[in-house]
Chains A and B, each alone.
Chain A
Amino acid sequence: MLQVIHFIDRFTTWVGRSFSWLILLMAFGMGYEVLSRYLFNAPTAWAYDMSYILYGTLFMVGGAYTLSRNAHVRGDFLYRLWKPRTQAKVELTLYVLFFFPGILALAFAGGKYASQSWGYMETSVFSPAGVPIFHFKTMLVVGAVLMLIQGVAQVCRCLVCIRSGEWPADVHDVTELEDQLLESGGQDYVKNPLDIGSATGGKDQ
């Protein structure tokens, strides 16, 4: 069971992280558009389409990775008071009742939607450049399938927890800066907090 969880986690994490670098492409691409428009007076025909294609792909594909790290927002003010076993039972029920039907609907209906788009090799209507968007619509299916795979791992997590009474340990992952600081007490970030702000302090002197 744990092996299944780790295998799926590794897979969706790898996919999600690989796609996350699209943000750099997005930043540089749009930056190029602004530069090109004002410096060379030559706006590109593809920048707008590129922006939403990259953004949409980013979050669709990243959904499963986010799920594996428990980063989808919950209203957890009661939830966190419960025993892990209760949490797991409720969660398992809702995965079966809510998550899988919803995501399956997305996968199948999205598949129909994308295949229509493939049928006539749909291109974007926003610019004469004719940026193809049929592959972008396919991301609906890709995102949903990744979610389904991750859903299996989440169900395994619940099962492990119901059996043992404890949530399986998470794999280490990047954390928000505030969490890093809280964990380390800030030792690695600020060497001598008390120095700073005293009159002659300031690090660069």
Chain B
Amino acid sequence: MSDPQIGILMLGIFILFIFLGFPIAFTLMALGIAFGYFAYFDAGRMWRGYERLVEQGAEGWQVWQAYIDGFFNNRIFDLFVNQTYSVMANEVLTAVPLFLFMGYIVERSNIVERLFSTLYIAARRVPGAMAVAALITCTLFATATGIVGAVVTLMGLLALPAMLNARYDKSFASGVICAGGTLGILIPPSIMLIVYAAASGTSIVRLYAGALFPGLLLAGLYITYIVVRSILQPSAAPKPTDDEVGDVPLSKLIWMIITSFVPLAVLILAVLGSILFGLATPTEAASAGALGGLALSAIYRALTWDKLRDSVYLTLKTTAMVCWLFVGSWTFSSVFSYLGGEHLITEFVVGLNLNTITFLILAQLIIFLLGWPLEWSEIIIIFVPIFLPLLEIFGVDPLFFGILVALNLQTSFLTPPMAMSAYYLKGIAPPSVQLIQIFKGCMPFLIFVVIAMVALYVFPQIVFWLPNTIYG
């Protein structure tokens, strides 16, 4: 068996071991070390000290110790520690705990209900007003927090009963909430894009700039769909009677917007703007965002000791989860490429005679399928690096690929069997809303994700215009 074949064996064994449900970080670590021990095995080098002692004619315990030391003299251990340290000192990943902390603080700041009622009143003359308001609330809130679960449950508590009360179609209403809440992983500043940047070596700043318009495009498509469907099928989103709409004076509406929409929008724009225009590194902007989130929470009188403590502890747990996964993955993948496994995969894919478009379709299809059993963190940290060497061959910019992946992973939150967004919503929704209705409601939005992906392929300028304009 040649080295590259052993590399493929290593990958195969790893995929089998995922099924055993052991924490993946440690599986990666152990397989990396075991196969690395084999790959870097060099008897001459490892037992050099022992050989020297034998030549000198030394005897006894000293020789035995040198012999045992030989076993631990494998270069894999240095590699392992170096990879671990490079995760610890990674300048991109430093932003992860800060953005997480900002998200945890903002999601506890009681802002959602104000935001939703304000946006509803502002949009009340628009067809499907409540759904539009729900979608924009989800989008903004998910963008600020960068986390999917919380916004879906919060909106499931607030907006779903309100929409059902207004006789909205159950599927339609739940689809809006799931799709809107999932947008947060795409629109920057999102944590998933930071993780992609660290995993692929792409510039996080360019990635953020590139993701902005695709994110807005998808949100725009969603809103258009909601409005058009509300016009075409009024029974899905009945118009409120004049009585229900009520009358809110303009001055009061403006005040509501100033106190709910503006602070959150300013927070997002300040964080994103300072990153895009190079005023601050993502880490610095994230810490400013975290401080801003604390201030916001304090202004809304939501900053209690309990909430602060919860946020701090949760930040630690999530950071540790993501970063230990990186430790395992970087050790694993450097051994994998040292064995030449990457090379073999590249040769295989080249042998398939794909062109750029068929390669992209195949790659996205694989990532879509991986989204069924796995979470985004595993897909990005472990599997995306396998695709990276192929991108060069097919002339695909890793930046462009990253945006496609972020779009694609929207679907993994919305399709069974691992549709996290749908499950969260089901968990909190009134019992009359069935899981199947939620899935049905998500389907139209999935079509728009695919449309957005095709649009990006046809007009790559949607991705490249902003980064190229700002950074040349």
Contacts and interface: CB of A to CB of B under 8 A. Distances in A.
A190 B108 CA distance: 12
B193 interface: no
B97 to A, nearest CB: 6
Contact of A75 (B104, B157, B165, B373): B373
B26 to A, nearest CB: 5
Contact count band on A? 35 or more
Contact of A174 (B25, B89, B310): B310
Given A62-B316, A190-B113, A73 B428 contact: no
Contact of B81 (A24, A140, A186, A196): A140
Interface string B435-462: 0000000000000000000000000000
A interface majority secondary structure: helix
B246 interface: yes
Interface stretch (A2-10, A103-111, A161-169): A103-111
Contacts of B312: 20-21, 23-24
A114 B373 CA distance: 39
B287 A31 contact: yes
A72 interface: yes
A94 B158 contact: no
Contact of B424 (A78, A108, A178): A178
A52 B319 CA distance: 13
Given A91-B22, A186-B157, A196-B113, A113 B85 contact: yes
Contact of B117 (A30, A33, A139, A202): A202
A72 B321 contact: yes
A17 B283 contact: no
Interface of B: 17-27, 29-31, 33, 72, 77-78, 80-81, 84-85, 87-91, 93-94, 96-98, 101, 104, 107-108, 113-114, 116-118, 120-121, 124, 130, 133, 149-150, 152-154, 157-159, 161-163, 165, 240, 244-246, 248, 256, 259, 279-280, 283-284, 286-288, 290-291, 294, 309-310, 312-325, 373-375, 377-378, 417-418, 424, 427-428
26 contacts: A20-B312, A23-B98, A23-B316, A48-B91, A52-B91, A55-B93, A55-B319, A59-B323, A74-B21, A75-B18, A76-B21, A77-B418, A90-B22, A94-B26, A103-B29, A108-B77, A139-B88, A140-B85, A140-B88, A177-B149, A178-B152, A196-B162, A197-B117, A199-B121, A199-B244, A200-B248
